[in-house]
Amino acid sequence: MKEINVNIIKETVAQLCIDANKRLPSDLDDLIKQSAENEVSEPAYGVMNDLIDNISAAKTLDIPICQDCGMAVVFLEIGQDVHFVGGELYQAVNDGVSKGYKEGFLRCSVVGDPLLRVNTGDNTPAVIHTSIVPGENVKITVAPKGFGSENMSCLKMFTPASGREDIIEYVLDCVTKAGGNPCPPIVLGVGIGGDFEQCAYLAKKALCRNVSSSNENEFYAEMEQEILRLVNCLNIGPQGFGGKTTALAVNIETAPTHIAGLPVAVNFGCHVTRHCSKII
């Protein structure tokens, strides 16, 4: 059994909050640059290059890529042979978020009650997802989620009579209605299966996948590419100015479901779909 002091969790989460907000994953950074080169629309080409300049400026000036530093979403993949010592795990995660947002001078956007709307002042509490996996390591992924894109997300409980084409049509409808609001070019996380809450979790988790990867199942990999192609025919374009780059990637994650249902969730990520991971 491996012992891990929760103070290590706190410090790791703090640094991941800062890193995720200031630097895009390299795969997404590269894809944005490639997409700019493929734009034929002059306004779209100009907007894409403005986005590239913004990402570069964030690196040079060591500042957040976006003014909305997001709600901290933390994924914990915990090896079953790990024993935490020195305190309570979730408290350590929230202490890390507080430390990272304060010391990183990141905008704090979380309110303690959904209706009373009083800012907590340190971007806590985080949204924490925990899974137990084999081994004696802990993988921590911090995914700051801005709400310009989050507010566009959708969920629908299809009947099992629905199929591939129905889901594709639904995703296209979601993107069309969202328009330029989620700060395109977007990354789409699509969760299919499970139940009401699991499909939403799958969609959020999908946004943390490498954008150069495809679903391991060829059926869903082809579906990802079909949705991406059709979305990029909508002419919404970068920041809604038109063009061929409405989406950068479509990531689908699936789970078994009930014979009577077919839940589908679509989680929007903006062009700065941020996430950063570390294994302890």
Distance CA 231, CA 168 (A): 10
Distance CA 160, CA 272 (A): 34
Q: Where are the domains of the chain?
A: 2-22+65-145, 148-274
Q: Is the dihedral of CA 20, 240, 175, 182 positive or negative?
A: positive
Give me the phi and psi of 145, to 5 degrees please: -115, 110
What are the pLDDT tens digits along the chain (280 aa)? Answer: 999 999 999 999 999 999 999 999 999 999 999 999 999 899 999 999 999 999 999 999 999 999 999 999 999 999 999 999 999 999 999 999 999 999 999 999 999 999 999 999 999 999 999 999 999 999 999 999 999 999 999 999 999 999 999 999 999 999 999 999 999 999 999 999 999 999 999 999 999 999 999 999 999 999 999 999 999 999 999 999 999 999 999 999 999 999 999 999 999 999 999 999 999 9
Which of 1.10.3470, 3.30.420, 3.30.1330, 3.40.50 would CATH assign to domain 148-274? 3.30.1330
| Residues 128-133: contacts with CB under 8 Å, at least 24 apart | 128/74, 128/76, 128/90, 128/93, 129/73, 129/74, 129/75, 129/76, 129/201, 129/204, 129/205, 130/76, 130/78, 131/75, 131/76, 131/77, 131/78, 132/78, 132/79, 132/80, 133/77, 133/78, 133/79, 133/80
